[in-house]
Structure 1
């Protein structure tokens, strides 16, 4: 595996499986947790390389961090950056393979 392909494979951390993300799959939109430093062109290249699909758009979001408290100490839990990837007509990603 070349260095550039390894870097692209490290960009996508995991798919997000929630009720809202599952509903978006019907519209050819897939949600992934990505590295905080990932850019839209890098996310597009990673999805196209890993899943062999055509990406039409990438939207990113960083949810607000959550406050956590342990006794009198207040801290924050980080929230990972997410990317909503829209695929071209006719393309799809199989996240749940039939076994």
Structure 2
């Protein structure tokens, strides 16, 4: 898989933005991606050094529209922590 196929989009929430000071960034990633794949993709795309990667599967939520109901799609989230000597990811710095 190419790095662009592994890292799908950044997650921009209050909780994820609070981790930027500790060089912790959150991304939505491909469901089949491993921690090693995610670390290599982040290093390739942003030119940084990854210290560790934490992943979790986010379940789909039940949603209703009148009498019709269904589930949103499930997805995988990765929290990437960079090394102390690594530079920051400029994309997130512009949002602060």
Root-mean-square deviation over aligned CA pairs: 1.7
Return the alpha-carbon distance in structure 1 between the equivalents of residues 31 and 69 of structure 2: 23
Q: 1:40: how far off?
A: 0.6
| Runs (4+) off by over 6 Å | none
- Give the Cα separation in 2 of the matches to 1:40 and 1:75: 30
Q: Report how many aligned residue pairs link the two structures.
A: 93
- From 41, 51, 55, give the equivalent of 1:56: 51
Which of 66, 90, 93 in structure 2 is aligned with 1:94? 90
Partner of 1:18: 13
Deviation at 1:97, TM superposition (A): 4.2
Where 1:44 maps in the other structure, the secondary structure is helix
**1:58-73 to 2 correspondence within 5 Å?**
58-73=53-68
1:33 corresponds in structure 2 to 28
Unmatched segments (≥5 aa) in structure 1:
1-5
